[in-house]
Structure 1
Amino acid sequence: MEALLAPLALLVERLAGYPQPLFRAIGHPVTWMGALIDRLDRRLNRGAGRRARGVLALVLLLAATALVTVPLAWLCRLIPFGWVLEAGLASSLLAQSSLRRTVADVAAGLRRSLPDGRSAVSHIVGRDPEALDRAGVARAAIESLAESSSDGIVAPLFWLVVGGLPGIALYKAVNTADSMIGHKTERYLAFGWASARFDDLLNLVPARLTALLVAMAALFVRGGRPTVAWSTALRDAPRHDSPNAGWPEAAFAGALGFRLGGPRSYGGEIVDLPAFGDGRADLGPDDIEHALRLYRRMLDLVLAITAVAAVLAWQLG
């Protein structure tokens, strides 16, 4: 029955999300991880040997995560139907519902006004919102949707399948560390090196798997271009500085006939990033909603694949 962990976790998170009353009462596992990372940053990110200190911070983070989740998973395997509890706990580390809502909020905000669109997109991207025009806001939302489809859903699900509750929790710990300290700034270039490199390693397979899933999902979207999605990912993804981030973005661009990526402004500095796809760059709220339809079909496909795999594993077992 442990084969049902992945589809059940997906289903629970899709239907229930992470309840707001629970968040207000105890917070969220990612916020707990973030608090520990922040404390390690303040205590260790100083003086000489910052790269070694960053390695130590990552080891302590992973040890703390394993110390909590390994016994929890062990207990779940001991009690009747404990796999249901394990799937429920794992569902808190998936982001299907929250990602859909935040991206849909950008489309709704952009329909009202450009300032509302900028305000909504500022919650999901790190670039300067005031530097974005209407098309820039739409592209930023779709790019965030594409990238988060990988590191917010496919990657944690992949590591759930590989390692159960500890697997998904350890992945989220590394991914959270990368988002907090894995920056190429003077403060974090050395200290965040280990977190950034380990996050790259953990996402190597999931990022490419996401691109393939997006291409397959394009079969079920009006105007979708599955073969172009995959060929665009193969062609354009290697242009990105990150070994992984370009794969889902390029696949979304190819599938929808968009051009994503390009120069972005961070903290008043223009960062010249590669473009993905050969389509339209003048995008709007309708295009965000079109991308969300592709995203939903991808989620349906992931649920179907994991459910079929679970049934096959159950029959063979």
Structure 2
Amino acid sequence: MPWTAFTHPPDTLAILLLALTVEAAAGYPDRLYRALGHPVTWIGALIGRLDGGLNTGGQNRRRIMGVFGLVLLLAAVAGTAFGLTATAALFGNWGGLVALGLLCASLPAQRSLHDHVARVAADLRDDGLAGGRVAVSMIVGRNPETLDEAGICRAAIESLAENFSDGIVAPAFWIGVGGLPGGALYKAINTADSMIGHRTPRHEAYGWAAARLDDFVNLPASRLAGGLIVVAALFQSGASPGAAWRALRRDARRHRSPNAGWPEAAMAGALGLRLAGPRVYGATSVEDAWMGDGRAEAGPADVERALALYRTACLLLFGLTAVTFALVAVALL
């Protein structure tokens, strides 16, 4: 098989179907994480080493070194991913597809995202504000001590919506486009943005390239994620697909992020809530537009409604992948 085996549809879509199924059923096992770590931790370690070695000097040098570091990161990840793909090809067509499906199952995070957000609602009910603040601090970067119950619940729902896009739909999209190399390269870009793509004195110049590239590669997934949430509202009791669509069209582009507003606005409209808006990260206040025009007072029950909508959207993503696979396979017959 050529070195590009399993990097084009319909093979990549078959790999994605298996990856989504395995990850939804089993997540990333704790025993495996303790023994080997996770692709994100491996990528993060390399990003940290590059940051420590290259992010020095004046702002112009830092920006150039940030581009250079990003190129080195992507080259290392691409080389590893193509090497694993070539190795999987040695197992034959079916064996290679299964091996790559299992490897790609580490890239989306359907199950872990669900569990982390569900814990916020559960801990709020069981342990009050203190428990909710600890739980939500595991999934958001803002200062949890500034959040009341409504703020905790809104933060959890916002994190669910945004991470549905960049933690599930985006890796799925790029796996579908390019197999393991596509998914791994996306994960490297997204991890780099989360680590160095912040407007801090240390990373404003060095992380500029990572932040801009992350914005670009998330463009298709954020729109798709918003659309999936709108359609999911059709099947969710108490959710409004019409309000989701109106909020998405009206508010998505008002978000300070070029991508996060799409799933957040759709989620807010579907649930009759207001999300985003002014909030505090550390000691820094961020003035952002509200997504949706519903109520700001959210509670644990709203988090659970958001999770139900999220589960439906994940099923729709799987169904969309299956239909696309079938259409591509038939077209290539």
Where on the TM-score scale, by shorter chain, does this alignment land: which range? over 0.9
Residue equivalent to 2:248: 233
Residue equivalent to 2:25: 15
CA–CA distance in structure 1, aligned partners of residues 166 and 244 of structure 2: 19
CA–CA distance in structure 1, aligned partners of residues 185 and 36 of structure 2: 20
Counterpart pick for 1:79 among 87, 91, 95: 91
Counterpart pick for 1:31 among 28, 31, 41: 41
Counterpart pick for 1:192 among 204, 207, 213: 207
CA–CA distance in structure 2, aligned partners of residues 148 and 281 of structure 1: 21
Structure 2 segments unaligned to the other structure (5+ residues): 1-9
Give the C-alpha shift of residue 154 in structure 1: 0.3
Give the C-alpha shift of residue 79 in structure 1: 2.1
Q: Secondary structure at 2:218's aligned position in 1?
A: helix
Give the C-alpha shift of residue 228 in structure 1: 1.8
Q: How does 1:105-124 map to 2 (within 5 A)?
A: 105-112=119-126, 113-124=128-139
Give the C-alpha shift of residue 240 in structure 1: 1.4
Give the C-alpha shift of residue 8 in structure 1: 1.1
Structure 1 segments unaligned to the other structure (5+ residues): none
Q: Provide the TM-score with structure 1 as the length reference.
A: 0.98
Deviations 1:100-127 (A, max 9, x none): 0000000001112110000000000000
Residue equivalent to 1:254: 269
CA–CA distance in structure 2, aligned partners of residues 234 and 169 of structure 1: 31
- Report the residue type matching 2:103 in the other structure: L
Q: Secondary structure at 2:201's aligned position in 1?
A: coil
Give the C-alpha shift of residue 72 in structure 1: 1.1
CA–CA distance in structure 2, aligned partners of residues 84 and 310 of structure 1: 16
- Report the residue type matching 1:12 in the other structure: V
Give the C-alpha shift of residue 269 in structure 1: 2.1
Give the C-alpha shift of residue 312 in structure 1: 2.9
CA–CA distance in structure 2, aligned partners of residues 50 and 100 of structure 1: 37
Aligned residues: 317
Counterpart pick for 1:281 among 296, 301, 321: 296
Give the C-alpha shift of residue 186 in structure 1: 1.0
Deviation beyond 6 Å, 4+ runs, structure 1: none
Identity percentage of aligned residues: 57
Counterpart pick for 2:226 among 208, 211, 214: 211
RMSD, matched Cα? 1.0
Deviations 1:267-294 (A, max 9, x none): 2221111100011110110000000000
